[in-house]
Amino acid sequence: MTPDEMKVRDYILKIYDGDVTKCMHCGKCSASCPAYGEMDIKPHQFPSYVAHGEIAALMDSKTIWECLGCSACVERCPRGVKPGKLIDGVRQAVIRQRGGSHLYPEQIPAMVDPETPQQLLVSVLRRERK
């Protein structure tokens, strides 16, 4: 990995806040994923890609935009690996690289559908605030 790639991996791991080495490749996360069919790199593959420093492939993957953030994979994982959270981290790294990670509270109302339940907004903000 280049120093720049190492910096991106550190950023992803900070958001992720878990241990990719605990993955035992059982595939339960992918089996429970509703977006599995749309993904090029599957949820159960994310931990080993990160462990092996293959960050660029993850950042170019379709998966980070197909993941619904439903956390089914997080709940299903017997080792607490949280692959969905890892996918979140990679997506945020890409957004940050594109310079789009700065969102101010006053910008939010215009972007939100008025029909969106408040509970959904609160849970998304809680999940994304790290």
Q: Where does this chain bind ligand SF4 (CB under 6 A)?
A: 23-29, 32-35, 43-44, 47, 67-73, 76-77, 79, 81, 83-84, 87
Measure Cα distances from 86 to 46, 65, 82, 96, 97 in Å: 7, 13, 7, 15, 17
Comparing CA positions, the residue from 42, 39, 56, 44 lying closest to residue 1 is: 56
Helices (H) then strands (E): counts for the chain: 9, 0
By beta-carbon proximity to ligand SF4, the closer residue of 33 and 93 is 33
Q: How far is the CB of 116 from ligand SF4 (least distance, A)?
A: 19
Taking phi over 0 as left and psi of -120 to 50 as alpha, with beta for the rest, 27 belongs to left
Minimum separation from the CB atom of position 26 to ligand SF4 (A): 4
Contact 23, 78 (CB under 8 A): no
Specify the residue, 25 or 102, whose C-beta has the smaller distance to ligand SF4: 25
Q: How far is the CB of 10 from ligand SF4 (least distance, A)?
A: 20
Quote the least distance from Cβ 52 to ligand SF4, whole Å: 14
Q: How far apart are CA 7 and CA 73, in angstroms?
A: 26
Of 48 and 114, nearer to ligand SF4 (C-beta) is 48
Is 21 or 109 the residue whose CB approaches ligand SF4 more closely? Answer: 21
